[in-house]
Amino acid sequence: MRRPSLASKCFLLGTFVIFPLISVNIVKRLDIPAKLRQNCCMMLEAVPAKNILVLHGPNLNLLGSRESEVYGSDTLDEISESLCKLAKDAGANLVNFQSNSEAELVSRIQQAIGDKTDFIIINPAAYTHTSVAMRDALAAARLPFIEVHLSNIFARESFRRKSYFSDLALGVISGLGAKGYHLALEYALNAR
């Protein structure tokens, strides 16, 4: 495994900047909130992902025909096919799962605990702002994940600016359209 660069050892997490992160043992001794300490350790211990789950929340099955000025013209099938090809080319397995049902998304997250998934990319869509159940499932799974949004949720209505997932996520990619999924996948495959 290649050694992380100095830049990759620098993480901006909430209001804390830790520079440079040298080892898990040092991070475990830092006087920082437990959740931040857990995220830092997860990042340091991580290895390139080989089994990636991409979760797509409600209404994303309508991509390409729904508000293209907000969400872009790519369909969910096009995004999923592109991600599968990139993962396959890198020697990784990738599974896409979309549901309009919160219960089905929670069940799929719980399934990931025992199915060899080692990284999650999630676009919770409308559940971003409402789903404590999905948040709790992700916390229980204890798998690293990146939260992705096609639109810039911070430039939209005020109710869309609150995420129940961001503080658990390794990172959030918002407003870059389908490219956000590709950047999250690149991170999972390489930069970890």
> Which are the catalytic amino acids?
71, 149
Helices (H), the chain: 24-29, 34-45, 68-71, 76-89, 102-112, 132-141, 179-186
Those residues with Cβ within 8 angstroms of residue 122's Cβ, 6 or more apart along the chain or in another chain: 54, 55, 57, 138, 145, 146, 147, 148, 165
CA nearest to 87, candidates 97, 76, 96, 74:
96
Strand partners, 148: 173
**Collapsed DSSP state (helix, strand, coil) of residue 175:** coil
What does each C-alpha distance from 123 to 32, 129, 192 come to in angstroms?
Answer: 28, 12, 20
CB distance 182 to 121 below 8 Å = no
Rounded-to-10 torsion of CA 55, 58, 63, 65: 170
Tokens of 35: 């959740």
